[in-house]
Each structure stands twice: as structure tokens, then as C-alpha cells.
Structure 1
Amino acid sequence: MQENKMKRLVVKMHPKDNVLVALTDLQKEDAVVFESETYILKETIKAKHKFYMADMTATAEVIMYGVLVGKVQCDVSKGSLMTTENLKHAAEPYGYKKSSFSWQAPDVSKYKDKTFKGYKRKDGRVGTANYWLFVPTVFCENRNLDVIREALHNELGYSVSDKYTQFTHQLLKSYQSGEDMNAVDLQLMPANTANRVFKNVDGIKFLNHQGGCGGTRQDAATLSALLASYANHPNVGGITVLSLGCQHLQVQDFINDVKKQNPAFDKPLFIFEQQQTESEEVLISNAIKKTFQGLIEINQYEREEAPLSELCIGVKCGGSDGFSGVSANPAVGYTSDLVVGLGGKILLAEFPELCGAEQDLIDRCVSEETAYKFINLMESYDALAHKVGSGFHMNPSPGNIKDGLITDAIKSAGAAKKGGTSPVEDVLDYTELVTKPGLSLVCTPGNDVEATTGKAASGATLILFTTGLGTPTGNPVCPVIKVATNSVLASKMSDIIDIDCGPIISGEKTIEEMGEEILDYCIKAASGEIIPKAVQLNQDDFIPWKRGVSL
């Protein structure tokens, strides 16, 4: 085989690496040529998995993405498969040191005159959507929120369940008439064609949660700050609050946090306390009536042209595979660099998935203070995990491992690529609001929903979510754009995937080309010209983090 053909079979992620990544299934005893070196494969190497480039003895260091990602546990041969049996997690120690880091922004000249159409808020931020938000101060109100959701969504055109209702109705008719139920086809059911009454209201969202009482007071305080961040979010036009009355998280605590974050807060805000209302029926009907009036008010808001410097994009990966760090994450990373070059904001979170990438991020911090804030948050979080017998090294899921992410350091080194290469301008603790242009690190778990929940709280108005296995995660107030690492997934789960980075694997497109395509999509999504699949499906996942051990 010719070497240029081999380049499509394997890839080396960094000149220092001593492993290669298979871009397609390779068979045992295949002769793979890469950079004039021939590798006779000792086993079948499935796409996304890695094989060793040299004979190695036990405790030898394995390098990928240019960093230490593990140590071999037994002697391994050149051309043999990397597995959980022969490799265990290892990462270099990290710490602050003065760095000579410098950054060259990518060429953004093609975007200098581009804008997006967003909702300009009085605090100066620009939203990519206009939502009405329902906030319960305690889990006791979840049932009431569910009743209100059904009423408002069905009547005002926000429901996505119409075809399933029709499907069930047809099944019932077939059952009652003794007909063959197998003849009832979901694909023949009419889609939701109800016209939305409020054209400038993109949705009515509900923050059902399990907190507000019964936990620690610290949990209630963290939840209050989180809910206040959502109320202040630039994608939110108005809020309805439901409270029981006796819970830890009191309404006044929530209001105080809202005002603390934004002293000039002036959005429509309606509060209903059940223990001060004569009946549940009165509570729900009053909440619906006032919300309807509020919807009329925020329906007057219209999209306006805004510079791309007003974009605030969170970057996240979930259901990661062995291609995540090869295609989608680097492509999103290039998008991140473009946004930073344009004066916008990028939020990189998931601290457990930065294990092994710490030193690079520390070296990129713009100040010693910023670096030490990151170090302290990482160390305290990891120490808490070790205290209960876990650790960041236990982060990869069975699905991650099956698809080629053998150690946490491999997963993390690839995951960190989403943040691009720009300086780290700030480090934000959970619920802390982003204020500085550029790249900020946000302390959240790696858990998909907890991380997206935290990113939105810090101000992300769009989230780029890369996935290699397929993850149907969304967020109530921040549109989530799904970016597939491979074309097989993009085709198989086309109902949840927005962008396919598979052409990078096949060699049809470069990382830079895909990065620009992703930014183009973001501009359209921010303008309401494209509706991401997660938004279309009302995939409104919301899980507050209690600051416990969550990887």
C-alpha cells in the first residue's frame, strides 16, 4: 500500500505520541505504513481504537496528544491493541510556573462584517432566544409545573407530542375495533402543525428539580444562585415562580440573589406561594392567567442585529468516543478560537474531564491569580472524589471505554480540545457569571446535564455539544447544538444530530473548514434561522449540582 493511502487509515495526534489511532477497522496481521514505518498488527484494531508504535515494557509511559495519558501494565508489542488490561491512567503533576505563552488568533476577516439577530436585554447582553421561564423554589411544586406545562404547551403551540397522541389514539381505535394494531404507523401520523400564538416567544420552559428543601442549607443557597442565574439569563424574557412556602429556599432568598446578580433587574416576575393561596386550583389558574399576560408583553420583543462579539458559547462533550478528540472536539476548538478572535466568549467546563490537561491550561492563564483559582478548584474537587474512594481517573464510562477512550487522561486530553488554543482569561466557580471576553473555565461535573446546566448559569447563550455515541441532551434556556464525531452516528441518529464532523475522518474536510461551518451554523441558530434538534424536541434537561462527588 502507498503511504498516502495509509494516512487515511491511521492518525498520529501529536509528534511526540507513541500510539496511533485507527480511522477504520484494521485486521490482524495487516501491514500499516505510516511515516515510512511499517506496523504489523498483532490484533484486529477497530476504528477509534489505538495501537502501540513500539515494543514497551511494564511502567513505560504512553504519550497521546503530546501528554502522558497512561502507563503500560505489562510488556506490549509494536502493533498491539491498547486495552484497559495493558494500560492504566497516569497524568503529569501540574503547578503554576511563569509561562511565555503567546497566541496568534486565526484569520477572522471573513466574519468582520457579519452579525446575528438576537434579543438585546437592558443589562447589555444579547440573547439568542426569548423564553418564558417557570421556576419552582422547591420540588413540591413540580406536579403543579407539569399541569401548567401541559396546558400552556398544548394550547399555545409548543407541544411536540401531537403525533404520539395521534399514534396512541389510532392504536386505541384499532384495539377497540379488533383491527391489526401493527398496521398503525407512527410515520403516518400528522406532525404538530399548531401555529404558535406568540411569534416572538421561542418557548415556555420549566425548571423542575429535586431541591429547595430537605438537603443542607448550602444546597439551598447554591440552588438559589443557580435559579437566579437562569432568571437573569439573556435568553429569558419573563419568569413565573411557584413556591410552597415552608421550604429552605425562601422566595426572598431567590429575589435577593436575582438582585445581587443584576441590581437593575426589570423582567416581568410573577410569584405564587401555595400555602398562601386558598386552593391548588386557584394557584394554577392564577399562574396561567398572569403568565399569559406576561407572554403578551414579551411577545413585543423583536430580534435586532448584534455583533458576533456578543456570542457566548459553551462547549461540551458527552457520549464521547475515540474520534471525539480527532474530529469534533478539535473542530469545535477552532470555532472557539474564531469566536475569541471576534471578541466573543467561550465557556469550557467539566473539570473532571480536564484531568491530564491541567498544565497546558495553567500555562495559558493570563495571570497567576487565574491559574491558582483553577488549581485550587481542581485539587479540592479531586480530593473530594478521592475521599469517597473515587477520583477523576474513574471518569470514563463503559461506553467511552468500549469506543476507544481507555483512560481518563486520553478522554481529557481530547475533551480539552473543544476550548481551542487561546489564553484562559478567567476561571469561574459554579453559577459564577462570565464577564470577560475570551476563554473561561467553568467548574462543573462532567455529567452531561449537570455540566450544561452550569454552563447556562454562567451565561452561555448557545452550547456546542460533541458526541460520538449519541446523547439526547438539551437545556431549557440555552439552545444545544449536537455535533457528531463520525458520519455513521450522524446518519443513524439524524433526529438529534445537527452537524456531522465525519468528513474530517474521511479526509474530505479539514478541521479549520469544519470549524468555520460550525460557526456559520451558530450564527444562524443565534438568529433563529435554524432551530437545533434538541430545541425542536423540547429536550429541556436541568440538573442542579449539589457540589458533591459527580464525575
Structure 2
Amino acid sequence: MQKKLIKVNPSDNVAVALVNLAAGEVIHFEGENITIITDVKMKHKIALNDLNTGDRIIMYGVLVGKASAKIEKGGLLSTLNVKHESDKVTGKTETIGWDVPNIDKWKDRTFNGYHREDGQVGTENVWLFFPLVFCENRNIEILKDIFEKELMKPKENDYQLLLRSLVSSENGSTEVAGKSAEADLFNNIEVKFITHQGGCGGIRQDSHSLAKLLAGYVNNPNVAGATVLSLGCQNLQIQIFKDALHEINPTSTKPILIYDQQQIGTIEAMLSSVVKDTFEAIKEANKIERTPAPLSKLTIGLECGGSDGFSGISANPTLGVTSDLLTALGATTILSEFPELCGVEQELVNRCVEDEAGVRFLELMKWYEKTVVDAGSGFDMNPSPGNIKDGLITDAMKSAGAAKKGGTSPIVGVSDYGEYISKPGLNLLCTPGNDVECTTAMVGSGANMVLFTTGLGTPTGNPIAPVVKVSSNSELARKMSDIIDIDTGGIITGEKTIDEMADEMLEFIINVASGEIKTKAAILNQNDFIPWKRGVSL
């Protein structure tokens, strides 16, 4: 029989409804009877004791809010009776130990990846096209049309075939639509394209930030080489981009083809050179083949989006255990979304191996929160309408569940947006909580794969890194099966444990990293890329 309530931490004074509860229903929980005051939808929280106005609300063992009105035992917590509140943190108070997980099962496992000269290993082999400025977006789109049609020979999708059959029917044609049988010209490489709205017109700092991000994409082990277009007069000058790349990797030998339109002249002259030169470079990159690599060569981004009231007790903790296994194996994991770490700062600071990292984390958090407040908002505005509807009613409550993606391992480093991460272990990276901006940033900081949890459903993907979509509940996995790769809903029903799901997830990661499984985002050709302008973005 499925449990109806769960208390995440022994010190919590609220519990999560695992099923819909009816007013008047009496539930025997932790040795006492609790009468449900009003109807409670699954994923929402009830009070385990009477709460008066101003009383602290504890969940995941931390302060996640305060009662703004009286809440009776068995009563529903909502935005009408709870307001955001989190404990203030000034520095490290203790060093938290770590129970290293048993990795005997995994220590000799490998994945088949693309080895780069600098020692990094990619899970993909991508030739990347991008502009330094939005003025070149049209030319990137022209190149996309050329290379995808003539080089990669993409198969026609079902919508094209449907439309063709409808047109044929209208014309009285008997032509039967069928998928193209043409094979890819190059089987061992993909071409991907990035466009953006930056590079000029904003403040100079935005261009430098974009340069670091794009340099990170070039340096990412999933990229074999790049074709870069410049107009010539923009803020993000070619030299700024080159300097950013040199700062990340001074000895890089990765092929990068750069074209300056104002120097070359006509679009025809530039694109002719681009096509000829890039074709030859792609032929060389296609010769690189997958070979075994230790799991320590994985760099995994940990992300959540479209979260629900189950995310913090199923999908996110599963990522946390997976992250612990990977870091114990010598791999690198990245926890970001700083607005969604509000309220759990003390634990994270105490997990920092070096005191300087804890200080930097708090400085970045304070800077970020100040920019939000200066803009007339606050971290308390972070939960989306969808989050609130599904039980995440305060930012601290959302954050406490989101932070579970980082497991319990020590934090080896703290990086600002655009900085490239190369230190094995769990790293913190300053990014917004916005799904695409965060995923974009983690890949720019070196992630060769991203694990992305969701309770409501989101199709986010990335141009160069596989994005594995993990559902917090089985209803979502069934409803949106075209975007979900892994379902952790068995944890909610009691059919599976978090450790069992983590084992399944690590096995799936190895298969994706080896090119044996394509993620749903990749199948959908979901190639999202949004740089963070360092203004306010939650």
C-alpha cells in the first residue's frame, strides 16, 4: 500500500502529500493521527503541528518560510499563509564530512568517447558554427541550410511527409511519401549552429561575457572545431574572442576558422570561402573515432526546470546520489542556478573544501541578490506559477529541493559565469535559474552532458551536449514520453529506491556518452542557446 505522506527530514514540521487527500481524512503518521483540514492535492504540504503567525517552517531540515497566518495541524500550506524566509549566512561554521559511496561496481567501467589533444574527452563530435555578433545570424542560417541539406543529408520528418501527402492528395497525385534512404555523407560528426542577439549594442561587459561563453563552447570536448563569423565593427572583436579562448586553454590546437565580412567584402565571397574551408576541416574531424575512456573524463551539469512538489524527493535526490558516485570516480559535476540555492547556503559553505571557495560563493550570492533587489524584485519571486501550482510555494522551499541535485560530496570549487571548470569533483557555478540560460552556461563551462530534472515537463536541449531529461513522477513520463528519458516516479510509489534509480541513471549516462542512446532532446533536434546578460534574470 502506497504511503500518503512523507517527511523529508526528521526535523521537518511539514509533510508532503504523496497522493490527493480529502478534507476530514484521518491519516496515521509517525505514531499519531492527523486529520486533513481541507482537500490537499498531491505534491503539496501540510502542517504536522499547529503553526502560529511568524512560526518557522522547516523542510529538508532548513528554514523554507514563515507562517503569515495561523495554520492548523493537518492544514494546507499555501501562498496565502506562508511567506518566503531563509536563514542568513555569514560564513563557514563547520566542516561537513562525507560518506564516500561504494564504487566497486563502476570503477573499471568506461565509455566510448572522442579524445582531444588537451586530454579532454567528448561524448559527441560536433563541428560548430556561430557568429560573434547578431548581424551575422542570417549568414549562419544560410550556412545551416547548406550544410544540413547537402552534407548531413537529414531524413525528412513526419510533418514534412504529412504535408507532402496532403499536397499530393490535393493535386490528385499518387506519389507515396516515404522517408529518405540517403545515408549521411559523414557518419562520425555532426554540424551544429548557434545564433544569438549579442556581440554589440549593449554594454562592453556583455560582449566580454559572451566571448568567454563562446570560447567555452569551442573548448568543450564535444566540439571538434568551429567556424566563426564576424562583421568587423562590433563590440565583440575577434581579438577579444581569441583572448578569451587563450585564457581558457593557452595551448589549444583545435581548428577554428574565423571570417571577417567587412574585410572580405561581399557575402558571396565570404560564404564561398566558408563552405570550401569548412568542408575540408569537417572531413578531417570526421576521422576522429570513439575509443574507451574512464568515467573520470565525464563532466556532468546538474539542472532542473519545470519543477514540481516531487522533484526534491525523487528526481533531484537521484541526481544527487549519481553525482556522488561520479565524483567518487574522479569525474566532475556542476551545480548551478544560484537563485535556487537560497536558503541552503550554510550547508553548501560548510561543504566547501577550501574556505576561499565558501567566501566566493557567498559573495556571488549577495551580488546576485542585490542586482535582483535593485531591479525591484527579489529571490522570493523565483517560483513560477507552475512551481506554485504544484506545491513549491517559496523560493527557499524550491531551493532546498533543487540543491539535492548536488548530493553530499565536498565542493571543490566555485566559479563565476563563463569560467571554465577543470577541477574534478562537485563545483558550484553562478548562473540564473532559467532553464536554457543555465544549461547554456554549464555547457560553456565544460559540461559534456547535462542531467535535467523536471516535474511539469520542459523540452530544453543543447546544440553540443546531450541533455538527459528526468521526470519526478510517472504521470509526466507517460504524458510527455517524447521528451522524458528517465522516470524516477517509482520512488514516489515505493517501487524503487533512490540508490536503485541512481544505478539506472549512471548506466544510462554511460550509454549516452558512448553514443549508444540518443536523448529525446537530441531526437527532437532541440538546440537551445541563450547567453545570460548580466542584468537581472531569474
Smaller-chain TM-score bracket: over 0.9
Q: Which residue of 2 aligns with 1:212?
A: 199
Q: Which residue of 2 aligns with 1:200?
A: 188
Residues 1:122 and 2:122 are matched in the alignment:
no
Find the aligned partners of 2:125 and 2:131 in 1 and give their Cα distance: 20
Question: Would the aligned equivalents of 1:162 and 1:192 in 2 still touch at CA under 8 Å?
Answer: no
Residues 1:454 and 2:441 are matched in the alignment:
yes
Find the aligned partners of 1:347 and 1:321 in 2 and give their Cα distance: 21
Q: Which residue of 2 aligns with 1:476?
A: 463
Q: Supply the AA of the counterpart residue of 1:141.
A: E
Q: Which residue of 2 aligns with 1:369?
A: 356
Find the aligned partners of 1:350 and 1:403 in 2 and give their Cα distance: 20
Please report how far the alpha carbon of residue 175 of structure 1 lies from its aligned counterpart in structure 2 after TM superposition. Answer: 4.4
> Equivalent of 1:485, from 472, 478, 494?
472
Find the aligned partners of 1:345 and 1:145 in 2 and give their Cα distance: 33
Residues 1:58 and 2:46 are matched in the alignment:
no
Q: Which residue of 2 aligns with 1:182?
A: none
Q: Which residue of 2 aligns with 1:87?
A: 82
Q: Which residue of 2 aligns with 1:317?
A: 304
Q: Which residue of 2 aligns with 1:398?
A: 385
Give the paired residue count.
Answer: 538
CA shift digits 1:85-120 (9 cap, x unpaired): 011101011121341311111111000110111111
Q: Which residue of 1 aligns with 2:406?
A: 419
Q: 1:408 to 1:148 in 2, by over 3 A?
A: same
Residues 1:527 and 2:496 are matched in the alignment:
no
Q: 1:352 to 1:194 in 2, by over 3 A?
A: farther
Q: Which residue of 1 aligns with 2:338?
A: 351
Question: Would the aligned equivalents of 1:158 and 1:204 in 2 still touch at CA under 8 Å?
Answer: no
Q: Supply the AA of the counterpart residue of 2:460.
A: T
Please report how far the alpha carbon of residue 224 of structure 1 lies from its aligned counterpart in structure 2 after TM superposition. Answer: 0.8
User: The residue matched to 1:465 in structure 2 has which SS?
Assistant: strand
Find the aligned partners of 1:431 and 1:13 in 2 and give their Cα distance: 35
> Equivalent of 2:367, from 364, 369, 380?
380
Q: Which residue of 2 aligns with 1:543?
A: 530
Residues 1:19 and 2:14 are matched in the alignment:
yes
Find the aligned partners of 1:75 and 1:98 in 2 and give their Cα distance: 33
Find the aligned partners of 1:47 and 1:397 in 2 and give their Cα distance: 18
Find the aligned partners of 1:392 and 1:190 in 2 and give their Cα distance: 51
Please report how far the alpha carbon of residue 37 of structure 1 lies from its aligned counterpart in structure 2 after TM superposition. Answer: 1.4
Find the aligned partners of 1:226 and 1:84 in 2 and give their Cα distance: 38
Structure 1 runs not aligned, ≥5 long: 180-187
User: The residue matched to 2:105 in structure 1 has which SS?
Assistant: helix
Find the aligned partners of 2:535 and 2:486 in 1 and give their Cα distance: 34
Query: After superposition, where does 1:495-506 map in structure 2 within 5 Å?
Result: 495-506=482-493
TM-score (norm: length of structure 1): 0.95
Please report how far the alpha carbon of residue 295 of structure 1 lies from its aligned counterpart in structure 2 after TM superposition. Answer: 1.1
Q: Supply the AA of the counterpart residue of 1:75.
A: K
Q: Supply the AA of the counterpart residue of 2:366.
A: E
Q: Which residue of 2 aligns with 1:109?
A: 104
TM-score (norm: length of structure 2): 0.97
CA shift digits 1:442-462 (9 cap, x unpaired): 000000111011101111111
Q: Supply the AA of the counterpart residue of 2:186.
A: F
Find the aligned partners of 2:181 and 2:521 in 1 and give their Cα distance: 18
CA shift digits 1:141-198 (9 cap, x unpaired): 111111211221122336465322222223333445599xxxxxxxx97556542221
Question: Would the aligned equivalents of 1:137 and 1:242 in 2 still touch at CA under 8 Å?
Answer: yes
Q: Supply the AA of the counterpart residue of 1:452.
A: T
Find the aligned partners of 1:423 and 1:192 in 2 and give their Cα distance: 51
Find the aligned partners of 1:523 and 1:86 in 2 and give their Cα distance: 45
Q: Supply the AA of the counterpart residue of 1:239.
A: A
Query: After superposition, where does 1:239-254 map in structure 2 within 5 Å?
Result: 239-254=226-241
Q: Which residue of 1 aligns with 2:32?
A: 37
Find the aligned partners of 2:461 and 2:422 in 1 and give their Cα distance: 24
Question: Would the aligned equivalents of 1:63 and 1:70 in 2 still touch at CA under 8 Å?
Answer: yes
Residues 1:68 and 2:48 are matched in the alignment:
no
Question: Would the aligned equivalents of 1:163 and 1:192 in 2 still touch at CA under 8 Å?
Answer: no
Q: 1:126 to 1:34 in 2, by over 3 A?
A: same
Q: Supply the AA of the counterpart residue of 1:266.
A: T
Find the aligned partners of 2:39 and 2:276 in 1 and give their Cα distance: 64
Q: Supply the AA of the counterpart residue of 2:361.
A: F
CA shift digits 1:411-447 (9 cap, x unpaired): 0000000000001110011111112111000000000
> Equivalent of 1:441, from 418, 423, 428?
428
Structure 2 runs not aligned, ≥5 long: none
Q: 1:152 to 1:83 in 2, by over 3 A?
A: same
> Equivalent of 2:242, from 234, 255, 263?
255
Query: After superposition, where does 1:252-291 map in structure 2 within 5 Å?
Result: 252-291=239-278
Q: Supply the AA of the counterpart residue of 2:415.
A: L
Q: Which residue of 1 aligns with 2:5?
A: 10
Please report how far the alpha carbon of residue 238 of structure 1 lies from its aligned counterpart in structure 2 after TM superposition. Answer: 1.0
Question: Would the aligned equivalents of 2:92 and 2:346 in 1 still touch at CA under 8 Å?
Answer: no
Q: 1:219 to 1:160 in 2, by over 3 A?
A: farther
Q: 1:366 to 1:40 in 2, by over 3 A?
A: same
Please report how far the alpha carbon of residue 34 of structure 1 lies from its aligned counterpart in structure 2 after TM superposition. Answer: 1.1
* RMSD between superposed Cα atoms in Å: 1.7
CA shift digits 1:376-413 (9 cap, x unpaired): 00000101100011111110000000011010011000
Q: Supply the AA of the counterpart residue of 2:152.
A: G
Q: Supply the AA of the counterpart residue of 2:393.
A: I
Find the aligned partners of 1:281 and 1:397 in 2 and give their Cα distance: 46
Question: Would the aligned equivalents of 2:110 and 2:293 in 1 still touch at CA under 8 Å?
Answer: yes
Find the aligned partners of 2:112 and 2:71 in 1 and give their Cα distance: 56
